[in-house]
Structure formats: C-alpha cells, structure tokens
Amino acid sequence: MLKVVTLCILAILTCTSVALSAESARASKGFDVTFSVLTALHYANWAREYALHLGEDTDLGAMMKNLMLQNAKFQQGLAVVEEYMKDPDKPVSVLAEGMSAAMLIHMEENEKVIELLKQVSNGDFAAFKDLEYRLAQRAATQKQAWEMMATSATLVVHVLVKPAESLSPKGPIPFRVNRNERLQLSGYLNQLFRDDLIRYYRYRQDSANGRPTNPNDQTWIIFTVDHIRKTLDATNYEDNAREAWNVK
C-alpha cells in the first residue's frame, strides 16, 4: 500500500511539474528559480519522513534502509538546485550553493552511519559502542544543515522581489514576477506543503496559548516555506510585518 501511495504522489508531482513547466516555458527567471527551490524543499521535507529511532529492538537493516531512502530524496533535491550554482546572479548562485551544501552534509552524515551500521551487523562490538555517540553527532551536524538549507532558500525572496527603495517601504511590492506567476507558484507551494503548513499554524496557535505541542510540527523547512508563501501572497508592504518584505 505504501508503494502504491508513493507512486501516486510521484505521479501527481511529475504531472504538476510538467504542466507548470509547460505553462512557464516563457516564464520569468524568478518563476523558474522559485519553482526549483520549492521542489528541492519538498524532497528535503520528504527525506525527513525517514527518521531514525534507536531502541532495544532496533532493526539495523531497517535503519540502513531508511538512511538510504533519505539520501535518495536528498539526491533528488540536489539535482533540482545544483544547476543554479554557476548562475551569474549572486542571490541565485548563493542559495543554490547553500542548499546543495546542506543536502550533501546530510548525505555524508548518513553514509558514515550506514558504514558504522554495517560494522555492527557484522559483529563489530567496538562499532556498536560508538553507535550512540555517532548518531548524536549526526543529529547535531544535521541540525546545522537544516538551518543552512533554510537560510539559503530564503534568498529566493531576492529573486522574487526587487530591492526596496527605503528602509521603511510602503505601497505595492515591486515584484520581479507577474501576478499570474505568483498565483501558479502559490498553488504549487500549497499542493506540496498544505498539510505541513496547517500543522505549523496549529503549533503556533497552541504554543501561544500554552497548549501541548509537537516539536516536529515546527521545522526549518516549513518556517522557510511559510516565509515564501507570505511573499507570494502579499501585494503591499503593509500586508505583513515590514521586515518580511524588506529585501534591501
């Protein structure tokens, strides 16, 4: 059943990508870059689903499988953005370099753990003693990688919006992409992240009201996606907090 659902999701994503790509054959560069960033974030977010859980009844084979599946998703995300690493526009190349570096860090950390798990499965007791420490080290490194990915991805706002003319801008936001492109990108974003955004907004409400929350509902990726969504949906600087739109 999981395979069928996964294939259906991939089919929908592929059809949507083809349809929007055809629609955007003469689209602006801002549209193309933002579309790619959202797609890469989607694959990275998908990779998060293959989390590791270490316990007394841990299946080493299942752990290695999850890490391999996670790396496959990171590789798909990497393939989407790495073409922009040599882009002449600095914001574009910097965001591509940062997102690519973050995904490579994730993949390298996973490969190290996979190798250690192989040793453990072969009866290497020394490797087994190092496993818990290595997983903790991986978690710390990957936490920094998630932050790097998010920080890099937010640079797409500079691709969407022209620099503000003052430190306190007012009135219409000077977009580099037209309204139709923004609507298409907003629709694509909602298709990929709708459920995650709903959980994120619920998390913020519950947190503000002192109710129990699930920390997994607030991630660097969804925080970034929400920032991009606010940019796409805005018309004037006054529509949201001023600092969200000032890309001077």
Helix (H, G, I), strand (E, B) or coil at 173: coil
Residue range 61-81, pLDDT digits in tens = 888 999 999 999 999 999 999
Give the pLDDT score at 55: 57
pLDDT on residue 57: 54
> 172 by DSSP, 3-state: which?
strand
DSSP assignment string, 51-77? -----TT--HHHHHHHHHHHHHHHHHH
Whether 99 shows a pLDDT value over 60: the answer reads: yes
103 Cβ neighbours under 8 A, 6+ residues apart:
40, 44, 74, 75, 77, 78, 145, 149
pLDDT score of 60 more than 90: no
Q: Helix, strand, or coil here: 161?
A: strand
Mean pLDDT, range 77-98, rounded to an integer: 96
Least confident of 68-72, 162-166, 236-240: 236-240
Tell me which of 68-82, 137-151, 152-166, 228-242 is least confident. Answer: 228-242
Q: Is residue 129 very low, low, confident or very high in pLDDT (cuts 50, 70, 90)?
A: confident
Percent of the chain with pLDDT over 70: 83
pLDDT value at residue 4: 42
DSSP of 197-246: HHHHHHHHHHHHTT----GGGS-HHHHHHHHHHHHHH-SBGGGS-HHHH-
pTM of the model: 0.83
Q: For the ranges 11-20, 59-68, 160-169, which has the lowest average pLDDT? A: 11-20
Q: What is the pLDDT of residue 190?
A: 97
